[in-house]
Amino acid sequence: GFYVDATHSAATRAMSVEQLTDVLINEILHGADGTSIKCGVIGEIGCSWPLTDSERKILEATAHAQAQLGCPVIIHPGRNPGAPFQIIRILQEAGADISKTVMSHLDRTIFDKKELLEFAQLGCYLEYDLFGTELLNYQLSPDIDMPDDNKRIRRVHFLVDEGYEDRILMAHDIHTKHRLMKYGGHG
């Protein structure tokens, strides 16, 4: 997959949706980055807020590749409550199977319960993946008051009570070495 626009090369930005689709399909069927190691999912597809043109093309290519292969997709939404909704709409319009799509990082994205239920009704997997991240605020978006694990658990419980227990995924999103136990993190 392709991460957020800031990581896209000039060559990636210049590719058409069709060319990007071919890259994704090739990584699933033949191997990634010139290796024979085949990817099992498309992702984590990184999106900023607001979405860039390159990210929008990649979302469309992701939908096209998923429609052809039937594989799961994992999405990293931009840091705005509207981002997951916008991403799902783009994927739907491009033919993606939303029931095989994971929206990551909901614990730092959708805080309002009514909006969360509205989003859950769209049918994707709802991922709470910042367990163990106990911060007062989210350093990448200081306006976000990060929930602690107790709040995450209560939000997951709320979703279970609302009937979404089969659409919830939980993880740690350990993405930096200082979070590993070897380096003094929580692991």
User: pLDDT by residue (tens digit) across 30-39?
Assistant: 999 999 999 9
In this structure, what DSSP letter does residue 5 have? G
Asked whether the predicted pLDDT for residue 136 surpasses 70, the reply is: no
pLDDT of residue 3: 96
Residue written as tokens 């978006």?
A: 141
pLDDT of residue 137: 66
53-82: pLDDT as tens digits: 999 999 999 999 999 999 999 999 999 999
pLDDT class of 121 with cuts at 50, 70, 90? very high
Residue 28 vs residues 37, 69, 175: alpha-carbon distances, Å: 9, 8, 23
Helix (H, G, I), strand (E, B) or coil at 44: strand
Over residues 119-128, the mean pLDDT reads 98
